[in-house]
Amino acid sequence: MKPPESTIGRMPISLSAGTPVKAGAATHCPYCALQCGMRVTVGETVTIVPRQDVPANAGGLCQKGWTAGEPLTSGERLTTPLLYGEAATWDEALDVVAERIREIQREHGPDGVAVFGGGGLTNEKAYQLGKFARMVLRTSQIDYNGRFCMSSAAAAANRAFGMDRGLPFPITDLAAADAVLIAGGNVAETMPPFVRHLAAMRDRGGRLVVVDPRATATAGQADLHLQPTPGTDLALALGLLHIVIAEGHVDEDYVTRRTSGFDAVRTSVAAWWPERVERITGVPVARMRLAVEMLGGAARAAILTGRGAEQHAKGTDTVSAFINLALALGLPGREGSGYGCVTGQGNGQGGREHGQKADQLPGYRRIDDPAARAHVARVWGIAPEDLPGPGRSAYELLESLGAGGGPRALLLFGSNPVVSAPRAGHVAERLGSLDLLVVSDLFMSETAALADVVLPTTQWAEESGTVTNLEGRVLLRRQAAVPPAGVRSDLEILRGLAVRLRGAEGFPTDPREVFDELRRASAGGTADYAGITYERIAAETGVFWPCPAEDHPGTPRPFLDRFATPDGRARFVPVEHRPPREDVDGDYPLYLTTGRVLAHYQSGVQTRRVAALNAVVAEAFVELHPDLAERMEVSSGDRLRVVGRRGVTEGVARVNPAIRADTVFMPFHWPGVNLLTNPALDPVSRMPEFKVCAVRLERAG
Amino acid sequence: MSGLVVVGNGMAGARLVSEVRARDGSLRVTVFGAEPWQPYNRVLLSNVVAGTMTPDQVRLLDRGWYADHSVTAVPGVEVTAIDRETRAVLTADGRREPYDVLVLATGSRPVVPPVPGADRAVAFRTLDDCGAILDAARTARRAAVVGGGLLGVEAARGLAGRGLPVTLLHRAGHLMDRQLDAEAGLVLEETLTELGVETRTGAVVTEILDGGVRLAGGGTVEADLVVLACGVRPVTGLARDAGLEVAHGVVVDDEMRTDDPSIFAIGECAEHAGTVYGLVAPVWEQAAVVADLVTGADKTSRYRGSRLVTRLKARNVELAAMGETHLTDDEAEIVRFSHRARGAYRKLVIREGRLVGAILLGETSAVGALTQLFDRGGPVPADRTGLLFPGVSGGVVVDSPVRMPDAAKVCQCNNVTKGQIRGCWESGARDVEAVAAATRATTGCGGCRDAVEGIVGWLCEQEGIPA
C-alpha cells in the first residue's frame, strides 16, 4: 500500500483547478451535505478535480474534498471480516451473526435485536437497512445518527410547513438575496464552497448576519455578528421577532394569506422585549435592531439554521422561533427567499426520508399512519400488520442496550457512536453489555473496536448510489474505483444476512434495483422519488423531490403556491425560551460547546486517516478566551483537562479572542468531548443537548 | 377545594397565573383585575407613547387564553377585603370568593405631588393613562414631564419622538439620580436635548396651571400637556386592612409568603428583605417561585433577591445602569471613560475583582457582556480596557497580505500559506489560476482570491515582471 500523501505536488501547474486532467467518473464528495461535484480518476493514484456543472460547489472544493481519495488507498483499510478479533471468511462471519440473531430473538423477541444507521449512507442503503430491520428482523428498534443532526430542524419544519426539506429552494437563490441570517452555522469551515453563494450575495450589496457564540470564520465574513450565550438562540429569535413587530416589518398581507396562528405568537413575543433578551443572550439591543433592519429592509432574504441552534433540548422550539421570524417577514414560499436548515451529513437529507428513523417509513411516511403502512407493506410484499411500530430514538436506543428489556444485539452501519453520541462513556458501557455487536465500517473505528463481528465495507467511490443534498436535490454517485478484495457493500451484507434469516427475495445488491423499489415505496409520500431515475439525475445533474412522475420536472421550490399542510398555510407555533438543562454554577462555571473544524469530518474515522488533514489539526483542542486563559495562567499549547458531570477529557489550549470568555469550545472529531456532553433530549425531536453543558477547566500534567 | 385566588392581573398577577398553568393544568384559579383590560405589558407602555407599538401589541395574554386554560378571570372588579378567618375575598360588586391560597399582586399606584392643579396632569402608569396622553398629545403644542427618573425620561423621549417639544422637570440635581452619577446624568441630558427634550434639573413643581407648570422660585414652564412620572407607591391597603404585616410594601419571606402562611404577595406591592422591586425581571422571578410552591412543582424554590439592571427603552438613547453606581474611588475601583461630545459615558465599579456596578451610556457593544458579568458575579479580567471597549484588546489583526509573514495562512479552506504561494510563484505561477492549480488556494470558499491576487501582483511588481 502507498503511504498516505497529498497529491498537491503532482498536479500540473499549467492547468487551472477547474480543468479535468481527464474525464474521470462524475460523482460527489464523500463528506458533507453540500455534496460537491467532483470527477474521480483512479489510476496509480487517485486524482480528484471539482465539477463546474454542480451548482452547489460550482468548481470549488475544500481540503477534505481534494484529499478524499486518500482513504481509498489507505493501508489501514479493513479487508477481511473479524470474528471476535480474528480474521474470518464472510460465510463464517455472516453465519455467526445470523445464528446469534436467531438465538437472541428466540429468547428476547424481535426487539431483542436493534439496528443503528447513519446519515452518510446512500438512499439505497438507508432504504434497505430500514426494510431489513422491519421485514427480516421485524424489530421496531432502528434509528440512526441523523437524530443527532437533523431532527430538531426536521421536527420544526414539519410542524410549520408540513414538510421538511433542508433548503426548500436551490442554494443559488442565496446569491440573489439581499440578506441572509445564519443561526448556529459555520459554513466557512463545515462546507467552504457554500460561502461562494454568500460571497456572491455580498458582492451584490447583500448583508450577511451570523449568530454564533464564537467569532467563527463565517462570522468573520459577516456584516453583523450576534454572539449569544450558548443555549440562548431561542431567546434571541424571540427578541428579533419582537422588534420585527414593533418596527412594523411584519408582512401583514402574507401573514393573512399564507399562514395561521400569528396572533398567539404575536402575543407571546410581546413578553420578549429586546432589553430582556439582551440580558439573557448578552447580545446588545442595538445589534438586534441592526439585524432586524437588514432583514426587514431586504426584498429577498433567507433565514438559515445549523446545528448550533438545533442541537439543544429545546432545539425544535428554537428552530420554530426562527421559522416564526421568517414567516412574520413573509419569506417562506416566496421565490428568492425562505427558511432553510443547513443539513450536515453527506446524505443527511435522504437519510432521514427512507425509513432508518424509528418512527418512519420510506417517502417520509409515518410508521403509525395506517395508509402509509399499507402502501409500504404492499411494495414489500408483506402484510401491514407484520410491520413493527415506532421504536426508540437514537440516544434512548443506545441507552437501553443490554439493559433490562432493551435490545441484546446491535447491527451498526455508517456510524461511530462511541465518539459521536452524547455521554459517550455511558454509550460505550451499554455497547459493551450487549450479547452481540456487529459493525460494518471501512476502518477500525472506535466503535468497531468494541464489536464482536466487524464487517469490512465499500466506500463512496467504490460503489454507486444516490444521495440527496442539503437542497433536496437527488444526486448520483458513480463508482470510480474497484473495491479492495475481501470487502463487500452494505447491500451485499444485508442480502447475506437476509438469505440466512428469511430468504434473499427483496434484497438485491444492485443499487439501481434498490432505487427503483425505493421510488415505488416513496410514491405518494411527502418525499416522493417516483419520477426520479438514474438517467434523469445524470442528464439533469440532480432532480429535486418531490417528483411524482417521470415527466414531472421535480420541485426546486415546493412552497411557492401552498405549504404541505392540510390547509396549505404555514403554521406559526408559539414557543418560549428556557435555560440550558445544565447551566453554569460554582462547581462548573463555564459553558462547553462543540463543533467542527475545516479539516475534519464527523467522528474523524475517515479524515483522521488523511495526512494532509492531520497536518492542519491533529488532535482535539480547547479554545478559550484570553481573559480566561489569563485567569487560569495557561497559554496556547498547554494541556488542559475539561471536567464535567458526566466525564473528563483533555486537549491542547488554544487561546483565542474569538470565543466568549464564559465558554470553551472543543471540536468533536476526536474521542473525548462527547464524554461530557449532555444527553438531555428535546421532547419533540429527541435531539440531545450537544451544544451546551457546564464544565470547569484544570491544567493537565 | 377552593383553589388559588390572585388579586391583581398586571405584570405580576398575569405572569403568576400563566406560570401556574404551565406547571399544573387542574388547580382551580381565579384572578381579579382592577383594570378592565386584558393584562398588558407595562414595560412596553413607553413604546405606546412613542408610537412604535399599538395597545394591541402589548398584551400579555390573548383574550381566549383564560377559557382555553380554565382560568376564571374577573377583570374590572375590585377586591375590597380579605376575610382571613373563612379564607375568602370580598369584591366591590358583592361577590365572595373562597381561597386555599391567596396571592396579592396589587402592584403600585403613581405618586401624585400634593400641589394645586395636580388633577390637570396625567399620570403615566396604565394603558388608560397612555390613551389620555396620546389624546392630549394630538392637540397639544408643548408638553412637560414631571419627574426625571426612568419612566419620565422614556415618556419625554416618546413624546418628543412624536414631534412635540418637551420639557423634562426633575427635582434632583441630575436625571435618573438613583441609577446615574452626576456626569452620566449630564451626558443623558445633553443626549435628550439633541432629541428635542429640554431638561430642567433642581426644578420643584409648585402648581400645575392651565397651560403650564409653576416652579419654585417663580418661573413657569409652558405646556398644554403635563405628564406625571414622580414614582410609585405600593398598593397595600387590602393587606393592611386584613392585618398582614406591611412596611413600605407587604412584607414577605423567601417563599414570598406573608405572615399568613396561606397568603403570598409578589410584584410591586411586596417587600422582600427590605426591598420593593419595581423592575419586571425580579417580579417574574417571584412569580415563578410562588408557582413552584403552590403547585408543588418545586417545594424548595426560594426567592433570594435580584441584581438590578436598568435599561432605558428610548429610541436613540442607549443607557444601561446596574448595581452600585454611586461608589467613589475610595470605596471601589472605578474605571471611567467619558466623551461628552459623542454622548458616550462608561463607568465600571469593581470590588474584589468583581463587577458590582456599571453605567453605559451611548451605543456600545459592551452592554451584553457587562450585564452578564454583573448578573453572574463572575471575575473581571485584569485588563479592564477590553470590558469597556470590546474588540480592542487581543483583537484579530487583519493585515495586508503583502506584510504577512511567510508562515501566515492565506487560504484557510486548503491550508495554503503565503510562503507556499511565494514558492509557487518562484516555480513560474503568474496568476491566481496557476496558483490555484498548484496549491488549491481559492478553490474552497473563494474568499482569499483577492489576497492571492495581491500577493502574486506584489511579487511580480517586486521583480519587475508584468503580472
Q: What is the pLDDT of residue A405?
A: 86
Of B53, B280, B446, the CB nearest to A199: B446
Identify the bridge partners of residue B144 per DSSP, sorted by sequence position: B167, B226
B426 to chain A: closest CA residue: A13
Residue A75: how many other CB atoms lie within 10 Å: 9
Mutation site, B53, B317, B443, interface A, largest A CB count within 10 A: B443
* C-alpha grid cell, residue A239: 427578541
* C-alpha grid cell, residue A200: 456572491
Ranges of chain A with pLDDT below 50: 1-21
**Which residues in chain A are closer than 8 Å to B379, comparing Cβ atoms?**
631
**Which residues in chain A are closer than 8 Å to B367, comparing Cβ atoms?**
278, 284-285
Query: Could you tell me the pLDDT band of residue B466, with boundaries at 50, 70 and 90?
Result: low
- State the pTM of this model: 0.92
Q: Are strands B344-351 and B354-361 parallel, antiparallel or unpaired?
A: antiparallel
Element (H, E) at B214: strand B212-215
Q: Are strands B250-252 and B270-272 parallel, antiparallel or unpaired?
A: parallel
* A 181-220 residues inside an 8 A Cβ radius of B: 188-189, 192-196, 199, 215, 217, 220
Residue A562: how many other CB atoms lie within 10 Å: 14
Q: Are strands B143-146 and B166-170 parallel, antiparallel or unpaired?
A: parallel
Measured CA to CA, the distance from residue A218 to residue B413 in angstroms comes to 12
Q: Does B86 touch chain A (CB under 8 A)?
A: no
Alpha helices by DSSP H, listed for A212-353, are 217-220, 233-246, 252-258, 262-270, 274-281, 285-296, 307-310, 315-328
Would you give the distance in Å from CA B293 to the centre of its chain? 27
The answer to whether B438 and B448 are in contact (CB under 8 A) is no
Q: Has residue B144 got a pLDDT over 70? A: yes
Q: Does B399 touch chain A (CB under 8 A)?
A: no
* A 147-176 residues inside an 8 A Cβ radius of B: none
Residue B280 and residue A276: Cβ atoms within 8 Å? yes
- Domain range list for chain A: 8-72, 82-148+347-461+486-506, 151-341, 590-699
Q: What is the pLDDT of residue A22?
A: 52
Q: What is the pLDDT of residue B352?
A: 93
**Which residues in chain A are closer than 8 Å to B412, comparing Cβ atoms?**
188-189, 192, 217, 598
Query: Could you tell me the pLDDT band of residue B63, with boundaries at 50, 70 and 90?
Result: confident
Instruction: Give the N- to C-terminal CA distance of chain A in Å, as an integer.
Output: 38
The 10 Å CB-count burial string (b at 16+, else e) for B400-430 is ebeebeeeebbbbbbbbbbebbbebbeeebb
Residue B433 and residue A273: Cβ atoms within 8 Å? no
State the smallest CA–CA distance between residue A489 and chain B in angstroms.
Answer: 31
Q: What is the pLDDT of residues A357-370, one digit of tens each?
A: 999 999 999 999 99
Residue B367 and residue A630: Cβ atoms within 8 Å? no
Q: Does A8 touch chain B (CB under 8 A)?
A: yes
A280 to chain B: closest CA residue: B372
* A 11-30 residues inside an 8 A Cβ radius of B: 11-17
* A 609-628 residues inside an 8 A Cβ radius of B: 612, 615-616, 626-627
Q: Does A317 touch chain B (CB under 8 A)?
A: no
**If we measure between CA atoms, which residue out of A587, A624, A594 comes closest to residue A692?**
A594
Q: Does B394 touch chain A (CB under 8 A)?
A: yes
How many angstroms separate the Cα of A373 from the Cα of each of A86, A134, B19, B172? 42, 11, 41, 76
Residue B437 and residue A16: Cβ atoms within 8 Å? yes
Measured CA to CA, the distance from residue A688 to residue A310 in angstroms comes to 9
CB within 8 Å of B126: residues ≥ 6 apart = B35, B42, B45
Q: What is the pLDDT of residue B283?
A: 94
Q: What is the pLDDT of residue B56?
A: 81
Measured CA to CA, the distance from residue A86 to residue A80 in angstroms comes to 9
Q: What is the pLDDT of residues B164-208, one digit of tens each?
A: 999 999 999 999 999 999 999 999 999 999 999 999 999 999 999
Q: Which CATH number fits domain A151-341: 3.40.228.10, 3.40.30.10, 3.30.70.890, 3.10.180.10?
A: 3.40.228.10
**Which residues in chain B are closer than 8 Å to A658, comparing Cβ atoms?**
396
Residue B436 and residue A281: Cβ atoms within 8 Å? no
Q: Are strands A46-50 and A37-42 parallel, antiparallel or unpaired?
A: antiparallel
**Radius of gyration in angstroms for the set of CA atoms belonging to chain A, rounded to a whole number:** 24
Mutation site, B53, B412, B413, B456, interface A, largest A CB count within 10 A: B413
Measured CA to CA, the distance from residue A158 to residue A169 in angstroms comes to 16
* Phi, psi (rounded to 5 degrees) for A475: -120, 160
Alpha helices by DSSP H, listed for B87-242, are 127-139, 150-161, 182-194, 237-241
Q: Which CATH architecture has domain A590-699?
A: Beta Barrel (2.40)
* C-alpha grid cell, residue B10: 398586571
**Which residues in chain B are closer than 8 Å to A193, comparing Cβ atoms?**
444-446
Q: What is the pLDDT of residues A314-351, one digit of tens each?
A: 999 999 999 999 999 999 999 999 999 999 999 999 99
Query: Could you tell me the pLDDT band of residue B45, with boundaries at 50, 70 and 90?
Result: confident
Query: Could you tell me the pLDDT band of residue B398, with boundaries at 50, 70 and 90?
Result: very low
Residue A485: how many other CB atoms lie within 10 Å: 7
Element (H, E) at A118: none
Q: A427 exposed, middle or buried (CB, 10 Å; 0-12, 13-18, 19+)? A: buried
| HSE of A304, CA atoms in CB hemisphere, 13 A | 33
How many angstroms separate the Cα of A618 from the Cα of each of A3, A5, A446, A669, B411? 17, 15, 17, 10, 18
Fold of A82-148+347-461+486-506: Rossmann fold (3.40.50)
Query: Could you tell me the pLDDT band of residue B1, with boundaries at 50, 70 and 90?
Result: low
Q: What is the pLDDT of residue A396?
A: 95
Q: Does B316 touch chain A (CB under 8 A)?
A: no
Q: Domains plus CATH for chain B? A: 4-109+233-295 (3.50.50.60), 118-230 (3.50.50.60), 318-388 (3.30.390.30), 401-463 (1.10.10.1100)
* A 472-501 residues inside an 8 A Cβ radius of B: none
What's the whole-number mean pLDDT along residues B224-233? 95
Residue A657 and residue B394: Cβ atoms within 8 Å? yes
DSSP for residue A214: B
The answer to whether A528 and A363 are in contact (CB under 8 A) is yes
Alpha helices by DSSP H, listed for A109-216, are 123-131, 151-161, 187-190, 195-203
Q: What is the pLDDT of residue A19?
A: 41
Q: What is the pLDDT of residue B399?
A: 55
Q: Does A349 touch chain B (CB under 8 A)?
A: no
Q: What is the pLDDT of residues B99-119, one digit of tens each?
A: 999 999 999 999 999 999 999
State the smallest CA–CA distance between residue B200 and chain A in angstroms.
Answer: 28
The domain A8-72 having CATH identifier 2.20.25: the answer here is yes
Q: What is the pLDDT of residue B40?
A: 86
Of the listed ranges A299-313, B294-308, B392-406, B409-423, the least confidently predicted one is B392-406
Q: What is the pLDDT of residue A52?
A: 94
Residue A627 and residue B383: Cβ atoms within 8 Å? yes
Of B53, B365, B428, the CB nearest to A287: B365
B427 to chain A: closest CA residue: A13
The answer to whether A32 and A191 are in contact (CB under 8 A) is yes
* A 252-291 residues inside an 8 A Cβ radius of B: 263-264, 266-267, 270-271, 273, 275-276, 278-279, 281-287
Measured CA to CA, the distance from residue B282 to residue B276 in angstroms comes to 10
Q: Does B53 touch chain A (CB under 8 A)?
A: yes
Mutation site, A6, A7, A10, A16, interface B, largest B CB count within 10 A: A16
